[in-house]
Amino acid sequence: MVKQDMDYKDPNLHYSYDLAQSRFFTKNQDNYINVLGTEQLRTIGNVFLLDVFLSAGNVVEPHYHSNASELIYCITGETIVSMINPSTKELKNIRIQSQQVVTIPQGWWHYFSASTDNTHVLTIYDTSKLDTVWGSDVLRLTPPQVFAHTYCLDEGQIQQALASIRDTVIIGPPADCDQNGSRYSNKGAYYQPHYPPSSYYTRRM
């Protein structure tokens, strides 16, 4: 859908963009995400893109999009896309390679991981402003006592297990993750919101 209020006589309008100039999140030199939306390219219309680069074993953490369906296109490498079908209560795991796609309906809980190094996928959304709820935010912002009471769990164990999740993860596991001790910090990774209050705002973690 093309924006109806666009003045295409405007000499300041642009029709091309270099995604390498718009970083969304960086874990390290091999695992990062670039972004393209109306904030970067006004003429893009009702489309939003995330350009994802992953090495083997890295995961775009569980999340869902409240306002868009998603198409995942594998450019190089191999990725396993996992999603929960809320109608059947089933977990689906779909492996895709170069030139293959997976579609994820709006609101479905999902995540995907790289099976090989140099995995490159493009995620495409039918919206110009993407809303995302990240699993790490759900876990770190929900009080442990709520989980304990709701699911009849040990509050102390939950608090201990989740204490190390202090930031939005996006690409996991974090670079300095110690899974034996279940402790990590996201130092060195950074996250740029895709719809910032001002252009090219970066929040460091």
DSSP states of 80-140: EEEEEETTTTEEEEEEEETT-EEEE-TT--EEEEESSTTEEEEEEESSSS--EEEHHHHHH
pLDDT at 191: 45
pLDDT at 199: 36
Is 178 among the domain residues? yes
| pLDDT tens digits along 11-25 | 888 999 999 999 999
More confident residue, 162 or 205: 162
| pLDDT tens digits along 86-116 | 999 999 999 999 999 999 999 999 999 999 9
Is 197 among the domain residues? no
Written as one letter, the residue type at 177 is C
Stretch 185-191: mean pLDDT, rounded?
Answer: 47
pLDDT at 174: 80
Name the average pLDDT for the chain.
87
Domain count, the chain: 1
Is 199 among the domain residues? no
DSSP-derived 3-state class of residue 43: helix
Stretch 29-57: mean pLDDT, rounded?
Answer: 95
Is 159 among the domain residues? yes
Region of 89 please: left (phi>0), alpha (psi -120 to 50) or beta. left
Rounded distance, CA 72 to CA 122, Å? 6
With a cut of 90, say whether residue 29 has pLDDT above it: yes
Stretch 117-123: mean pLDDT, rounded?
Answer: 98
Is 120 among the domain residues? yes
pLDDT at 201: 33
Which residue range(s) make up the domain with 185?
A: 19-191
Is 200 among the domain residues? no
Rounded distance, CA 111 to CA 23, Å? 20
How many Cα atoms occupy the beta-carbon half-sphere of 78 within 13 Å?
Answer: 7
Residue 68 belongs to domain with CATH number: 2.60.120.10
The string of DSSP letters for 143-172 reads -HHHHHHHHT--HHHHHHHHTT--S--SEE
* CB contact at 8 A, 35 and 24: yes
Is 96 among the domain residues? yes
With a cut of 70, say whether residue 4 has pLDDT above it: no
